[in-house]
């Protein structure tokens, strides 16, 4: 019985990738054990469960590891398929959902990271790229409630953890996402009341404080 199986999640701090796995587990109502990982001193468990990348998140289901956040979300969707699915049943819509979730990883993540890790011209370029990638997503969202339509799904899960990082990007980049992408912020505010999301997302100011601490540590 799937319900009785053992589920463990290895995560760390304010990782948006770890948050995806948590939201998916919460959406499906799965009981799981969360084990916080220190990424500056990787545990033997993390090294054993993700020997290739040694990164979080790792979902351990009945002793078997599943790595990479989007793969974890899909795995959860396939194994606990008793209620509504994160991915659409139509093959083309499914392919599109995977494409945009991948876009979040390939475009949004890399460029958003550079907003707080770079300075000067590089930061300006990153800021423009970040806003551009959000505008593209806003266009995909259109007038729908969620990326897949009326129900919260795969692309929503892939993107919503970034929302608690927006304050950090705004503080470093000196801009307001809402002024650039009001529809995307309205979407995020629609996602927030979901228990899976509100329980998982960190406070934006706490994320910012931790980034400041991290940068200070890097300079010392």
Ligand X SMILES: N[C@@H](CCC(=O)N[C@@H](CS)C(=O)NCC(=O)O)C(=O)O
Q: Which residues bind ligand X (CB under 6 A)?
A: 12, 15, 17, 39, 54-57, 68-70
Alpha-carbon gap, residue 60 to 62, rounded angstroms: 6
Closer residue to ligand X (CB): 84 or 102? 102
Q: How far is the CB of 59 from ligand X (least distance, A)?
A: 10
Q: For ligand X, which is the closer residue by CB, 28 or 55?
A: 55
Shortest separation between residue 147's beta carbon and ligand X, angstroms: 18
Nearest-approach distance from CB 165 to ligand X, in angstroms: 11
What count of other Cβ atoms lies within 10 Å of the Cβ of residue 34?
14
Distance, in Å, from the CA atom of 131 to the CA atom of 166, rounded to the nearest integer, reads 11
Residue 56 CB, nearest approach to ligand X (Å): 4
Coil/strand/helix, residue 200 = helix
Q: Rounded to the nearest whole angstrom, what is the least distance from the CB of residue 1 to ligand X in the complex?
A: 28
Helices 120-141 & 110-117, crossing angle to 10 degrees?
A: 150
Q: Which is nearer to ligand X, 12 or 168 (CB)?
A: 12
Q: What is the nearest approach in angstroms of ligand X to the Cβ of residue 107?
A: 13
Helix (H) or strand (E) holding 4: none
Residue nearest to ligand X (CB): 55
Which residue, 113 or 128, is less far from ligand X as judged by CB? 113
Q: Which residue lies nearer to ligand X by CB, 27 or 185?
A: 27
Q: Between residues 80 and 109, which has the closer beta carbon with respect to ligand X? A: 109
3-state secondary structure of 151: coil
Which of 98, 91, 69 has its CA nearest to residue 161?
A: 69
CA 92 – CA 108 distance, rounded (Å):
23
d(CA 100, CA 49) in angstroms, rounded, equals: 28
Sheet with 58-61, strands from edge to edge, namely 33-36, 7-11, 58-61, 64-67
7 DSSP β-pair partners: 61
């Amino acid at each position: 019985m799937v319900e009785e199986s053992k589920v463990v999640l290895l995560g760390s701090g304010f990782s948006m990738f770890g948050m995806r796995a948590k939201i998916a587990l919460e959406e499906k109502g799965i009981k799981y054990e969360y084990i916080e990982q220190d990424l500056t001193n990787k545990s033997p468990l993390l090294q054993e469960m993700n020997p290739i990348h040694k990164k979080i998140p790792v979902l351990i289901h009945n002793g078997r590891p599943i790595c990479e956040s989007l793969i974890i979300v899909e795995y959860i969707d396939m194994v606990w398929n008793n209620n509504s699915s994160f991915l659409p049943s139509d093959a083309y819509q499914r392919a599109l959902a995977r494409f945009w979730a991948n876009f979040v990883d390939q475009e949004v993540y890399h460029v958003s990271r550079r907003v707080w890790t770079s300075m000067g011209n590089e930061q300006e370029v990153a800021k423009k790229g970040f806003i551009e990638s959000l505008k593209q997503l806003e266009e995909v969202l259109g007038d729908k409630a969620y990326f897949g339509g009326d129900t919260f799904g795969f692309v929503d899960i892939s993107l919503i953890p970034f929302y608690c990082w927006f304050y950090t990007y705004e503080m470093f980049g000196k801009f307001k996402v809402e002024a650039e992408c009001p529809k995307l912020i309205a979407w995020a505010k629609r996602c927030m009341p979901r228990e899976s999301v509100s329980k998982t997302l960190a406070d934006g100011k706490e994320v910012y404080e931790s980034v400041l601490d991290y940068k200070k540590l890097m300079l010392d």
